[in-house]
Amino acid sequence: MTQRLSDPKIQAFLAAKEVAVLATIRADGAPLLTPMWFLPESESLAMVSIAASAKVRNLRRDGRVAVVAEAGTRGDIRGVALEGRATILPDGQERRGLVERLLGKYDPHLERRWGSRAMPPDRVLFRIVPSVVRSWGLA
């Protein structure tokens, strides 16, 4: 059964996670899996990547993606998986707000990686809006 990303249990689980795995589609149809920092929102996820990366080239060609975040061990596996479409956000107030929230979530690591609080010009921020959301083991 499809769920909603805004479900409080799903939001709480995602808020506590540092990394999710993003799947994009290569030109030959094969999946490309990449661990990513992410920002959960009530109806979407936001991620930042280097504009010239393979995953961003894949997104520009075909915006279909899947994302999974999981935790646990044998007998106690919890997680969230979604399928949806990614859209690269243009510069503007909305993108700057998301960047500030990402900087807050990954403080001080993201700022150190970038060398400042400004998103470098060789990065893109993209939003994933899910069409399918599933969770398991969430209390």
The phi and psi torsions of 12 (rounded to 5 degrees) equal -65, -40
Enter the tokens of residue 81.
């998986």
Q: Within a 13 Å sphere around the CA of 29, how many CA atoms are in the beta-carbon half?
A: 0
The answer to whether residue 33 scores a pLDDT higher than 80 is yes
Contact 45, 129 (CB under 8 A): no
pLDDT value at residue 1: 64
Domains within the chain, CATH numbers bracketed:
8-136 (2.30.110.10)
pTM (2 d.p.): 0.95
Contact 63, 23 (CB under 8 A): no
The answer to whether residue 25 scores a pLDDT higher than 90 is yes
pLDDT value at residue 75: 85
